[in-house]
A and B are shown apart, each in its own frame.
Chain A
Amino acid sequence: MRILICLLLLLLSEVSLVAQQEKLVQLKIIPFFSTTSASILDTTFQLNTSDSIRFETVKFYVSAIELFSHSQKAWKEKNSFHLIDAAQQKSNTILLNIPKTLDFDSIRFNIGIDSSTNSAGVLGGDLDPTKGMYWTWQSGYINVKLEGTSNLVHSPNHAFEFHLGGYMAPFETIRNISRPCADSNEIKVYVDLKQFITAFNLQETHHVMSPNADAVKLSELLTHCISVK
């Protein structure tokens, strides 16, 4: 009996020791257009003096978050799948529980969902198909969903729809982002949607709804619009 109590106490002290040895890092994902002070959804932004744009949906997956120190992997988040949804304020902040002694100088993560997860059957949490980020006519996650309107688009209601996804060759759309970052308790990831939207011709390309060459091209363009501070 005494041995059991001792073991239990030892276990509890270990648990509290582990808890003490962790620190919390807030990873904030901030999609913005021109300015971070305006809400990305339902705000009309000027593209130039005559053209404007408005977003109704800004959703994307951030997955496989890793912290690096001197180019060596120092920490990796378990079960790392996060749906960032501009309509859900809370979803923009990811809490990372990392060892207190861990120093890091860069961060890596994916925009999108890896191919094995795409084939793993039905999953829950942020990966639940009710989140509206899973295709139904064929299997696979939508990595990035951007919907809205712009006078530049000559479609019904001037609507644009970008559902970027695809996990099979030749249209793999997951992209790994690697950026230096300061060792701090807050990491801010900025997603510059103005830079993205103006990097291609919106008048010509305004509906991408399946895994294809345009989805690959736009997924690649988006990687250049991500900065970490």
Chain B
Amino acid sequence: MKQSIALLVLVSIITLAFKASDNKSITFPKGWPKPNYDFSKKPLKSATIELGRALFYDPILSRNNTISCASCHSPYNAFTHVDHALSHGIEDKIGTRNSPALMNLAWNKLFMWDGAVNNIEVQALAPMHNSVEMDETIEHVVTKLQASTIYPSLFRKAFGDSIITGEHTLKAIGQFMLTLVSANAKYDSVMRHQSKFTMQEENGYRLFKTHCSSCHTEPLFTNLSFENNGLPVDTNLNDYGRIRISHQANDSLKFKVPTLRNIEFSYPYMHDGRLKTLSAVLKHYTSGIQNSNTLSPTLQHPIVLTANEKIDLTAFLLTLSDKSFLFNPHFAYPKHILLP
């Protein structure tokens, strides 16, 4: 009897240890703030991340099975839609905004340019149901996934149940997106004292800290707030940003401060993609700011930069490119699942 009890205890310990080993969080550098997403209550699981990755790349999420999340969030472009000011979705329909670059989402409190979405786990509902993006419904996605040959077993591995639900579908996509951490650019290795900035980059970093870092705060290169950065209103789009969600007059023309990480690859810039190049962005901040009631207090006076300073600042911004993020095989199209 003693033996069997001992065996039972041993099996329990092994089971628990196995379970614990699969309950994981994301890894990020020392000194970074604590993520907003509570991994202690909602740990990541390898099988769930893998399922989420398959769903992220699978056009099954759209009405006519043509548009996936990756259509507008391609890994090689810092998970945004390169080359298009306004992202296009199903049947080439054009939206009103430039798809945001996806990275370091575990630190975000609110999602989308106007903060319409309050939790990463429900984020995918927005493009899925948008008539110019995927034009689908979560109800129908669940039906399609249940009928597929690959998904029921992936859901069983992830959630212990091959009956597919909206909750599990969205949770899996959320878990994959949470793993998209970019923290290994040249900037990061300089901060770790493993490499050095060139003189030009060093000067650019100094200029960045003087002129940009109040909103694009290190190490995330965003303070996650909503700001009016002085862009004139596009009278065709009439997009006033955050006010649509918050209904607060002082949120008019405010959009989420985007991260500058991987900015080399996330062009075009601004919420409506109106600026194609980094030099156009710097020109906006030095001579294009339009004053209004809600203009960010830090932009009340134009930023003054000489031509050489602009070059140095750009050189610094390029040190935020993280090739190990852009070409991370764990973030790429899951050929082994979707095209076995």
Contact = CB atoms under 8 A, between A and B. Distances in A.
B202 to A, nearest CB: 42
Interface residues of A, number: 25
A118 B165 CA distance: 19
Contact of B122 (A124, A129, A168, A170): A129
B131 to A, nearest CB: 10
A6 interface: no
A140 B116 CA distance: 9
A121 interface: yes
Interface string B274-289: 0000000000000000
A138 B113 CA distance: 12
B245 to A, nearest CB: 6
A43 to B, nearest CB: 26
Interface in A136-153: 136-140
A178 to B, nearest CB: 29
B120 interface: yes
Contact of A119 (B118, B126, B129): B118
Contacts of B170: 122, 129
Of the listed residues A118, A132, A134, A171, the one surrounded by the most CB atoms of chain B closer than 10 A to its CB is: A134
B105 to A, nearest CB: 13
Contact of A128 (B120, B167, B245, B246): B167
A120 interface: yes
Nearest to A140: B118
A123 interface: yes
A50 interface: no
Contacts of B118: 118-119, 139-140
A121 B106 CA distance: 13
B139 A139 contact: no
Nearest to B37: A121
What 3 pairs between A and B have smallest CB-CB spacing?
A136-B129, A121-B121, A130-B166
21 contacts: A1-B1, A121-B119, A122-B166, A122-B167, A122-B174, A123-B167, A124-B168, A128-B166, A129-B138, A129-B170, A130-B138, A130-B142, A136-B128, A136-B129, A136-B130, A137-B126, A138-B117, A138-B245, A139-B117, A168-B246, A212-B247
Interface of A: 1, 118-124, 127-132, 134, 136-140, 168, 170-171, 211-212
